Structure 1
Amino acid sequence: MNKLSWIKEKIVLLFKLHMIQLVTACLVIVGVFFAVSYQNVHTETYEIEKFSAAKETIRSPITIENVKETEKNIREIVQSVDDHFEIAEEVVDEQITYINELFEAINKIDKEQAELDDEEEELSTISDKIAYLRNLIPSNSLSEMDKETFRSLFEATDSQVRLAKELITTTIYDAYHDGIKVEEVEQAIKDAQQRLTYSTLDDTFVEALLPIVEASIQPNAFFSAEQTNEAQEQARDSVEPVMIRAGEVIVEEGQLITNEIYDELEVAGLLNDERNLYPTIGLFLLIFLIGLFLFFEMHHHLSRARLDLSKIIAICLLSICLVLMLKVVSFYTTATNPLYFCAPVATVSMLLKVLVNERIAIVMSLFYAVIGSVIFNANIAGMLNMEAGIFILFSQLASIFFLSVIKDRGAIIKSGLATSIVNILTICLFLFLSFEKYSWIDYLVFSGYGFLSAIIANVLTLGMLPFFESGLGILSDTKLLSLSSPNHPLLRKLLIEAPGTYHHSIMVANLSEVACEVIGANGLLARVAAYYHDLGKTVRPHYFIENQMGMKNPHDHLDPYQSAEIILQHPIDSAKLLKKEKLPKEIIDIALQHHGTTLLKYFYYKAKERNDKVTEEKFRYTGPKPKTKEAAVVSICDSIEAASRSLANPTQEEIEKIVSSIFETRLLDGQLNDSSLTFNELEQMKLAICETLKGIYHSRIQYPKETNMKEAK
């Protein structure tokens, strides 16, 4: 019970240590992010006096409405709206009616007096006609006209009267068409009378008609408060707000600070520190969210034993290097020269994938893109450079996706070339979407930036990778691939000095890789570790049956205790040789743990035949038990491969039986307790190993011997 409590206490302490490491790493990363991008959101304020010369060019840090200028524009446009008048159509109809009645009355009088022939009587009749006419037409301005006008109408011929009526009516209609205001009456009368003078009628007759036109023109356009207010509202709504855009130059260096410029500086918050706090709070919230997501992501990998202190340090160092590089590039970036296109951002994403894993690389790429959009915002608070952010994201994602299979370091070069194509396409995308017109020289220059970015990233990745692998002791896939080469000195040593063990190791490696892949473990690590797990057998190769090759077994002349001591020593010898050659710790651990604390049954039972009081402790491996899934897989596959070679006729049933037996024995003996393997994973491993062994030991055609062929002839 005390031992169980001690184990629990150690687990709790280890968990706390990992959490401290994780929190510290997240704080370091987000702290650097905040420090580097703080200047990009911090708005500098100025002490400026009116009517002084500006000491430098000042740009607006934010987009904000200049309310004062907007209201000024509204006042000006409202004041410019003309008064609206409502035209009274009834005035026109009324005047035209009067004119029609006048000429109808004249026609009527003429018809009644047509039969009178006496001249004396005719003269008296014209006066009577005028008097009679005034009685016929309504009392209005026409009825009060001078007698001479009426006399001219009575003396004119019928055709002249008809033409006069048409001319006056048309002139009146035209005069009233656009409305006549009170102050426009005199001008309208003059215009109408002038039109009459250009007619074909006799000038004297026209002169007599002018009073009719004058009497018929009256105001018909009256001020409309409702229409005027409506027009003013429409004018007010049409005014666009006067905006001060982020990045807009408010004052040039040496320019005089006028009242208008001073007001704009004040609106943009450049004359006081009140607005400076808000962008800082916004940046803090952004960094906090990044830190929160980063913590959960790293904790996810830590809980699955996919992250250790070395990898956490690598993430911190690479993150710091990237943001510092982006900051330096931002100092030389201008609106016309976007140098972020040539920043080798793909370096970090490729290193993260090789050193840690793909998921971490993708997640960190998203964070780097967000921070990059802040760093390249031209120091304009509240603005994100989405062009820079998208380029950084696409470049990194391309390098990750095209680095899918790492067979050698040449895969990094191929990924870099593919990334350069994506970089060029992304840059062309921005250029084509831009409103600005670019020349082919611009396309070539900016595309060259993208190509240069990928090439530099390739060089930096290949150059920095060994330092991270050796300096932090991180076992990457490229390192594993180099260790898996048959030309490695240790594997050559194993092949020459213990060829049977070498072949056994190759078979164990094949089984281990297949088993790891079905449960999501590191198959490449298991394969390489399996190559080296029995390296200790080279110390005394002939004491292991696979290397005896027909020679006498030296164990036949040894005491079981001596034989057991030699056999039990080989995991320790393997670890010593691997440490001496400075191989990665993960491979050394698997070599040391691949037998766990299992019992060396053959020599144990042989000793027990001589003495019943023999204890198991002296015939058990010193361990420790497998601590990782990869170590447990190599341990199981090592026993299965050795046992399968002992089968005289390896049928499918025999293979399944022996595999199940070894799994069961390891479970009952508690050898898998520390490996975190689940029963479901064990079942998946069992099926995969059985399928692989069946493929290895498939039935073959029995070829006839040469003597039998001669006898058949």
Structure 2
Amino acid sequence: MQNFFQKIVQSIKKTKWIPIVISGFVLGIFLLFITLNNVYTKTYDIKRFNTAKETIRSPITIENEQETERKTREAVQSVKDRFDISKEITNQRIQFIEEIFEAINTIEKTEAKKKNDEASLTHQEKLQQLKQILSPEITEQINDSVFAYLLELDEKERNKGKKELTESVKQILSNGVRMENIERATSEAISSIKYTDLEEDFKKHLQKLAEFSIVENSFFDYDKTMEAQKSAASNVDPVVIRAGEIIVREGQTITNEIYEELKLVGLLNKERNFYPVISLLIFIAMILSIITYELFVLDKKQGIDRGIILSVLFISILVISLMKVISLYTTTTNQLFYTVPVATGVLLVKLLINERLAIVLASLYAILGTIIFNGEIPGSLNMEAGIYFFFSQMAAIIFLVNVKDRLTIMKSGIGMSIVNIVTVLLFLFLSFEKYSIKDLFLQSGFGVLSAFLSAVLAIGLLPFFETSLGILSDIKLLQLSSPNHPLLKKLLTEAPGTYHHSVMVANLSETACEAIGVNGLLARVGAYYHDIGKTVRPHYFIENQLAIRNPHDFIEPRQSAQIIMAHPYDGVEMLKKHKMPKEIIAIAQQHHGTTLLKYFYYKEKETDEHVTESEFRYPGPKPQTKETAIVSICDSVEAATRSLKEPTKEKIEEVVSSIIKDRLTDGQFDECALTFMELKIAQQTICDTLKGIFHSRIQYPEKEEV
């Protein structure tokens, strides 16, 4: 039963999805806690006509349809009825006036042309003649006394009156006369004549003609009125309550209008807040799904451990926390999000893990920034912050190349600063608001500060992740590759032959690993330290035996095997003592796997036929990673080719091929992910490298002289 539970525990430890899921759950809870107030609307228990205890802003942008409808109704009602003025009626009434005066002038001219023997018409006869030639509509509505008076007037005086009457009537009728204001129009015409310089009796008769001339000539136009009302309604702008707009201030009375606005934006509806939380949970789930997928891809490609998973968790928490803290001090009047050292996270991810994951996380952090910096206005996104964060992080990833030391991070900060400044200027120039030189320098300074802080934080936090979480970065590997490291100094002084061997193995391993797409730098550094255990008994290894007898000639094969097989584990103890990374320790421990010491095994078999292979096999374990497997091949290949007297091209290829086949048939690669295609590529790469190394030493056969 105890063994059963031990197997379960071991299988759980080997299962990567459990720590990934747990870390994802922790990150999800943290994201929910950080972003909840950015989507969750606070509700209030408020009654009409009470006093507001605090200033309340709208959490959303929404149209107040009821208020828009009221304004539209008012606009339509304010449209006056449209009337169509009849030009025919206006012209007709003017023509009537002209007809009267022309008819009188005609009669008078006719009388003037008569000869002395012809009898003149009496006044009454003239009146009868005038009535006969005038239109019936005129004679029926105008009293004869008006005609009689006009006939007695002097032509010049009559024409003057005609002009005054015509102008007055024409002006009034041109403005339009409706039925309801016909009396006012008539009075206006009478008043106009009253204040002329004509004789009083003439004015009275002209006023009667004005009363006759002023009639209704303006009629209601339904089509024009409806068109005007529609135009007025379409010109009414919707009444919109903007997100962030103050609905009621502290101490202000909650009027019925304010209460309806609070109700409209959902500040009185507790049930409405449930939906944004659901959307936030979906959003967080999508974020975590992408991160989880990328971790599984990373595990499949190069393998991950607890340290990498925790690094992603802690880096994400760090970046999101920095954004949240600065968002608390960001308002509409300042743009403090420019100062967020958001690139810290992707710098650490690229240094500690890889570039692909850094790019993915950069995109996710930028998206989260649009929510965190939305001013706690649910439903809104700060796209400006998101774009800035994206470009800033991408600049950090792009400019962080050829990492040799921690100063490289500071150099990438210069590139980040330039991109940050360009992005800030982009937003300023796109803005419709006026900006000053002070704004340019201030906000550009924020961008430079963000880049500087990102670089400084990355440099400061890198040792924490390297030591506390056991993450091996390229910078750490480069430091370990320095010849000034105490262990490498020890190897050089106490076992110079082994040191030279390790350098050669490192060159071969790095080239082969890079050819198959794995960490060549790790293989190089691991190769430097893989035989560090030989410094315990350096003279028992042939590469260090200069001008001395081989000590193995004086001891038993079993004893020799024990000494030789101890060096990987002696090295492990030394590496652990110096707190070396576990990846380097693993290469030192596994580079011989469980291979057989054939020389001493067969030597012992000459005297003891019952000897077993297990006594002359390394305890293992077998190589667990591709890098370790490549180092193990290169270790054997380098030793074998160095022993060749005439290392020709064919001999090198034969040695490399035989060593790889031997390891394959012996099952030494069963526990690592090396494929046959990768082995073939590595074999070719190793052969090409060795040919270059031994080129000057290859002796070609001389041509015989004839």
**Following TM superposition, by how much is the alpha carbon of 1:177 offset from its aligned partner in structure 2, in angstroms?**
3.2
CA distance in 2, matches of 1:451, 1:516: 39
SS in 2 for 1:222: strand
CA distance in 2, matches of 1:304, 1:282: 33
- Structure 1 residue aligned with 2:584: 587
Kept after mapping to 1: 8 A contact 2:648/2:698: no
- Structure 1 residue aligned with 2:664: 667
Distance 1:694 1:216, change over 3 A: farther
- Structure 2 residue aligned with 1:708: none
Where does 1:98-109 land on structure 2 (aligned, <5 Å)? Answer: 98-99=96-97, 102=100, 105=103, 109=107
- Structure 2 residue aligned with 1:58: 56
Residue 409, structure 1, aligned to residue 411, structure 2: no
- Structure 1 residue aligned with 2:24: 26
- Structure 2 residue aligned with 1:471: 468
Residue 533, structure 1, aligned to residue 530, structure 2: yes
CA distance in 1, matches of 2:432, 2:587: 61
- Structure 1 residue aligned with 2:679: 682
- Structure 2 residue aligned with 1:243: 240
SS in 1 for 2:138: coil
CA distance in 1, matches of 2:211, 2:694: 126
Distance 1:569 1:152, change over 3 A: same
Residue 229, structure 1, aligned to residue 251, structure 2: no
| Deviation by residue 1:82-114 (Cα, 9 ceiling, x = unmatched) | 111122333234335545655665566567655
Distance 1:137 1:684, change over 3 A: farther
**Following TM superposition, by how much is the alpha carbon of 1:578 offset from its aligned partner in structure 2, in angstroms?**
1.4
TM-score by length of 1: 0.88
Distance 1:178 1:668, change over 3 A: farther
- Structure 1 residue aligned with 2:378: 381
CA distance in 1, matches of 2:692, 2:119: 147
- The residue type equivalent to 1:22 in the other structure is I
Residue 572, structure 1, aligned to residue 569, structure 2: yes
CA distance in 1, matches of 2:653, 2:447: 56
- The residue type equivalent to 2:52 in the other structure is A
Distance 1:75 1:375, change over 3 A: same
Where does 1:506-585 land on structure 2 (aligned, <5 Å)? Answer: 506-585=503-582
| Deviation by residue 1:614-647 (Cα, 9 ceiling, x = unmatched) | 5433333322221111111111222222233234
Distance 1:115 1:393, change over 3 A: closer
| Deviation by residue 1:398-454 (Cα, 9 ceiling, x = unmatched) | 222222332111112222333233333333433443444344444444333333333
Residue 180, structure 1, aligned to residue 180, structure 2: no
**Following TM superposition, by how much is the alpha carbon of 1:142 offset from its aligned partner in structure 2, in angstroms?**
5.7
Kept after mapping to 2: 8 A contact 1:484/1:528: yes
Larger mean CA deviation between 435-444 and 457-466 belongs to: 435-444
CA distance in 2, matches of 1:12, 1:509: 34
CA distance in 1, matches of 2:211, 2:286: 84
Kept after mapping to 2: 8 A contact 1:655/1:693: yes
SS in 2 for 1:473: coil
- The residue type equivalent to 2:497 in the other structure is G
- Structure 1 residue aligned with 2:258: 261
Identity, in percent, stands at: 52
Kept after mapping to 2: 8 A contact 1:353/1:361: yes
Correspondence for 2:120 among 119, 122, 125: 122
**Following TM superposition, by how much is the alpha carbon of 1:605 offset from its aligned partner in structure 2, in angstroms?**
4.2
- Structure 1 residue aligned with 2:450: 453
Which stretches in structure 2 are left out of the alignment for 5+ residues? 700-706
Distance 1:104 1:647, change over 3 A: farther
Residue 302, structure 1, aligned to residue 302, structure 2: no
Kept after mapping to 1: 8 A contact 2:302/2:518: no
Where does 1:120-159 land on structure 2 (aligned, <5 Å)? Answer: 121-124=119-122, 127-141=124-138, 144-147=141-144, 149-150=146-147
- Structure 2 residue aligned with 1:90: 88
- The residue type equivalent to 2:596 in the other structure is L
CA distance in 2, matches of 1:633, 1:607: 30
Distance 1:159 1:300, change over 3 A: farther
Where does 1:357-372 land on structure 2 (aligned, <5 Å)? Answer: 357-372=354-369
Correspondence for 2:45 among 44, 47, 57: 47
**Following TM superposition, by how much is the alpha carbon of 1:364 offset from its aligned partner in structure 2, in angstroms?**
2.1
**Following TM superposition, by how much is the alpha carbon of 1:61 offset from its aligned partner in structure 2, in angstroms?**
1.3
**Following TM superposition, by how much is the alpha carbon of 1:168 offset from its aligned partner in structure 2, in angstroms?**
6.2
| Deviation by residue 1:31-76 (Cα, 9 ceiling, x = unmatched) | 1000121122222222334334322221111112223322221222
CA distance in 2, matches of 1:656, 1:178: 113
**Following TM superposition, by how much is the alpha carbon of 1:478 offset from its aligned partner in structure 2, in angstroms?**
1.7
| Deviation by residue 1:111-167 (Cα, 9 ceiling, x = unmatched) | 76554235993242x543432333333321366424455456666788888887777
| Deviation by residue 1:654-678 (Cα, 9 ceiling, x = unmatched) | 4334333333333233222222112
- Structure 1 residue aligned with 2:35: 37
Which stretches in structure 1 are left out of the alignment for 5+ residues? 1-5, 703-713
SS in 2 for 1:275: helix
CA distance in 2, matches of 1:480, 1:142: 122
- Structure 2 residue aligned with 1:505: 502
**Following TM superposition, by how much is the alpha carbon of 1:299 offset from its aligned partner in structure 2, in angstroms?**
2.0
Kept after mapping to 2: 8 A contact 1:33/1:371: no
- Structure 1 residue aligned with 2:288: 291
Kept after mapping to 1: 8 A contact 2:164/2:193: yes
- The residue type equivalent to 1:57 in the other structure is T
Distance 1:164 1:305, change over 3 A: same
CA distance in 2, matches of 1:461, 1:198: 96
- The residue type equivalent to 2:619 in the other structure is T
SS in 1 for 2:695: coil
SS in 2 for 1:86: strand
CA distance in 2, matches of 1:174, 1:697: 118
Correspondence for 1:341 among 317, 338, 354: 338
Where does 1:421-436 land on structure 2 (aligned, <5 Å)? Answer: 421-436=418-433
**Following TM superposition, by how much is the alpha carbon of 1:234 offset from its aligned partner in structure 2, in angstroms?**
2.0
Distance 1:701 1:536, change over 3 A: closer
Kept after mapping to 2: 8 A contact 1:142/1:212: no
| Deviation by residue 1:501-557 (Cα, 9 ceiling, x = unmatched) | 111211111121121112221111111101111112222222222222344333344
Distance 1:137 1:544, change over 3 A: same
- Structure 1 residue aligned with 2:703: none
**Following TM superposition, by how much is the alpha carbon of 1:310 offset from its aligned partner in structure 2, in angstroms?**
1.2
CA distance in 2, matches of 1:132, 1:289: 104
Kept after mapping to 1: 8 A contact 2:481/2:528: yes
Larger mean CA deviation between 102-111 and 75-84 belongs to: 102-111
Kept after mapping to 1: 8 A contact 2:539/2:545: yes
Kept after mapping to 2: 8 A contact 1:137/1:143: no
Kept after mapping to 1: 8 A contact 2:515/2:685: yes
- The residue type equivalent to 2:682 in the other structure is M
CA distance in 1, matches of 2:604, 2:196: 148
SS in 2 for 1:399: helix
**Following TM superposition, by how much is the alpha carbon of 1:80 offset from its aligned partner in structure 2, in angstroms?**
1.1
CA RMSD of aligned residues (A): 3.3
SS in 1 for 2:688: helix
Distance 1:120 1:205, change over 3 A: farther
Distance 1:113 1:463, change over 3 A: same
Larger mean CA deviation between 614-623 and 493-502 belongs to: 614-623
CA distance in 1, matches of 2:13, 2:103: 118
Where does 1:59-78 land on structure 2 (aligned, <5 Å)? Answer: 59-78=57-76
Instruction: Number of aligned residue pairs: give it.
Output: 694
- Structure 1 residue aligned with 2:394: 397
Kept after mapping to 1: 8 A contact 2:366/2:386: yes
**Following TM superposition, by how much is the alpha carbon of 1:492 offset from its aligned partner in structure 2, in angstroms?**
0.7
